[in-house]
């Protein structure tokens, strides 16, 4: 059985360069929610490339923020395909800027750079392969005509990234030969592949949809840790499975088949806005995309009632925590430890070094769509902060800072020198403030504040409360001095009720 898509149209509505537009096979496939089911396969095949794997190992934060990585990938793909040409150009420029600093030498002494054209072509090729596989795994493979059309459409996207068309084979048959050759000769079995296939499901943080009830996620995570490795392996191409020496049992194949078939059957009767992700659905219905952060990002769509339950649970947690610790206890060590784990240790290895600070800068720049000059200032601010930390905290001289080194140094130096925080973190805070203050007003409003501090780990009620505490003059905005004072209090205030101490939510 093949997909019952409309016959390929002779002309695609695009931006003049053959880019897939309304009526194209790409539009009908890429924005479907079912693409989330082939994301594990897509990410594994990308990570298996030695350059991508090295970039993930050295620069990515997906180990500690897996849902953010999935969010960013899905949203970026939607903007790339479904946005008007000028917005598409902005998205491409944002992607290229985010990757231009990803370069270095891997653990085997090989140079790598995310700017290598053949690597970018491979990454784009895996997206085509994922769309085709989504239909095949659901028991409804594309017809030869539709698959050829899809391939031609997707190859037309290479030009948007400044890539030559001949980086991918000229026709579909050539692509499948290329895909097989890459599996045999280029793709590797590395730690990033194994993490994506197995370990990610064991320790992944609670997604925002389930943050109101962590036990539910704990149960789901335990089940996923048992079932997902086999299900992901069953999705992978046979040639690469053999490279990894993976055994796929009948139960794994049956589970994968059941999930994909059930998703297709359940989604097909639904209205378009329920079958497609927000940006894609908005484009296909001719409406503006949702502007709210929770509505615009896949990982941010909350379950019904989640917000109603989250705040009472957070209040109970805060009251219980206060009763245990007492209000007169020095709360700095707890805050500093949480800041290290939740903010600084972006790569999740228990230590912080230059890549962690660079990852923080990259995450901020990704959200704000800054100019290259603005991005340079953000990176420079976070680099200055890291240089300060390394000079004053790295007691064993290994080029990184452990959690104990961080907490000990902050407590010692803040007591000895009131200007210690100013000399370090303020570099990054100033750069961050100027980047977030997009209208140049000299203050950030509540929406801009959420851009920086919102996240799955901070309850929305705590977030608003933190804003109100920092807004000392109650003018509805936070000035740079107010933000600097708040960050200083976060690190230095002994009492847990000082303004600025609730930036990460209640302890």
Residue 4 tokens read as 């019952």
Name the DSSP letter for residue 197: I
Tens digits of residue pLDDT in 411-438: 999 888 878 888 888 888 888 888 888 7
Helices (H) and strands (E) in the chain, counts: 25, 6
Tell me the pLDDT band of 159, cut-offs 50, 70 and 90: very high
Residue 196 has what pLDDT?
Answer: 85
Residue ranges in 340-479 assigned as alpha helix (H): 354-368, 372-393, 403-416, 420-436, 446-453, 460-470
Residue 322: other Cβ atoms inside 10 A: 15
Mean pLDDT is lowest, of 217-226, 302-311, 371-380, for 302-311
Residue 204 has what pLDDT?
Answer: 62
pLDDT of residue 168 exceeding 90: yes
Return d(Cα 67, Cα 39) in angstroms, integer.
11
Residue 55 tokens read as 């970039």
pLDDT of residue 485 exceeding 50: yes
Closest to 352 in 3D by CA, of 370, 335, 367, 337: 337
Average of pLDDT values for 123-137? 96
Return d(Cα 180, Cα 192) in angstroms, integer.
21
Q: pTM of the prediction?
A: 0.74
Q: Which stretches does DSSP call E strand in 65-142?
A: 103-105, 111-113
pLDDT of residue 479 exceeding 60: yes
Cβ pair 94, 75 in contact under 8 A: no
Residue 416 has what pLDDT?
Answer: 87
Cβ pair 193, 47 in contact under 8 A: yes
Arithmetic mean of pLDDT over the chain: 81
pLDDT of residue 403 exceeding 60: yes
Radius of gyration (C-alpha) of the chain in whole angstroms: 24
Task: Work out the percent of the chain whose per-residue pLDDT is above 70.
Answer: 79
Q: Which residue has the higher pLDDT, 368 or 38?
A: 38
pLDDT of residue 208 exceeding 60: no
Return d(Cα 352, Cα 355) in angstroms, integer.
8
Residue 294 has what pLDDT?
Answer: 39
Return d(Cα 427, Cα 382) in angstroms, integer.
7
Tens digits of residue pLDDT in 235-256: 999 999 999 888 898 998 999 9
Residue 342 has what pLDDT?
Answer: 76
Collapse the DSSP code of 173 into the 3-class scheme (helix H, G, I; strand E, B; otherwise coil) and give the result: helix
Residue 241 has what pLDDT?
Answer: 92
Tens digits of residue pLDDT in 36-53: 999 989 999 999 999 999
Mean pLDDT is lowest, of 47-56, 58-67, 291-300, 330-339, for 291-300
Return d(Cα 160, Cα 16) in angstroms, integer.
12
Which element (helix H / strand E) includes 110? none
């Amino acid at each position: 059985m093949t997909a019952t898509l409309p016959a390929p149209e002779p002309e695609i509505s695009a931006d003049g360069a053959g880019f897939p537009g309304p009526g194209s096979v790409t539009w009908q496939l890429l924005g479907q929610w079912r693409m989330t089911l082939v994301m594990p396969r897509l990410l594994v095949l990308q990570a298996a490339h030695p350059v991508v794997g090295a970039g993930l190992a050295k620069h990515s934060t997906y180990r500690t923020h897996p849902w953010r990585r999935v969010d960013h990938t899905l949203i970026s793909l939607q903007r790339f395909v479904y946005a008007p040409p000028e917005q598409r150009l902005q998205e491409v420029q944002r992607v290229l800027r985010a990757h231009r600093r990803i370069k270095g030498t891997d653990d085997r002494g090989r140079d790598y750079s995310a700017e290598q054209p053949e690597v970018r072509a491979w990454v784009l090729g895996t997206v085509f392969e994922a769309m085709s596989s989504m239909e095949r795994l659901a028991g409804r493979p594309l017809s030869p005509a539709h698959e050829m059309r899809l391939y031609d459409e997707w190859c037309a996207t290479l030009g948007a990234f400044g890539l030559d068309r001949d980086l991918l084979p000229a026709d579909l048959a050539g692509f499948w030969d290329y895909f097989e050759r890459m599996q045999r000769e280029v793709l590797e079995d590395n730690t990033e592949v194994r993490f994506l296939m197995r370990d990610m499901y064991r320790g992944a943080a609670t997604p925002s949809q389930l943050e109101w009830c962590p036990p539910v996620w704990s149960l789901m995570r335990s089940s996923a840790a048992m079932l997902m490795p086999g299900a992901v392996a069953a999705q992978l191409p046979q040639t690469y499975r053999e490279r990894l020496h993976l055994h796929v049992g009948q139960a794994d194949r049956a589970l994968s088949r059941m999930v994909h078939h059930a998703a297709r059957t359940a989604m097909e009767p639904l209205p378009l806005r329920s079958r497609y992700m927000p940006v894609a659905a908005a484009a296909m219905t001719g409406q503006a995309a949702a502007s709210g952060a929770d509505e615009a990002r896949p990982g941010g769509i909350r379950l019904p009632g989640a917000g109603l339950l989250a705040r009472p649970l957070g209040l109970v947690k805060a009251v219980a925590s206060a009763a245990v610790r007492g209000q007169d206890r020095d709360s700095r060590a707890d805050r500093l430890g949480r800041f290290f784990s939740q903010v600084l240790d972006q790569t999740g290895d228990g230590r912080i070094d230059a890549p962690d600070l660079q990852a923080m800068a990259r995450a901020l720049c990704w959200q704000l769509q800054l100019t290259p000059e603005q991005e340079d200032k953000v990176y420079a601010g976070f680099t200055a902060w890291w240089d300060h930390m390394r000079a004053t905290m790295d007691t064993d001289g290994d080029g990184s800072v452990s959690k104990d080194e961080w907490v000990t140094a902050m407590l010692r130096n803040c007591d000895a020198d009131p200007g210690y925080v100013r000399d370090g973190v303020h570099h990054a805070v100033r750069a961050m403030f100027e980047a977030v203050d997009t209208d140049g007003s000299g203050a950030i409003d509540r929406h801009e504040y959420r851009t920086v501090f919102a996240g799955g780990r901070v309850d929305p009620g705590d977030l608003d409360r933190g804003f109100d505490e920092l807004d000392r003059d109650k003018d509805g905005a936070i000035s740079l001095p107010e933000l600097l004072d708040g960050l200083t209090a976060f690190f230095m205030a002994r009492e847990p009720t000082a303004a600025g101490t609730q930036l990460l939510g209640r302890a």
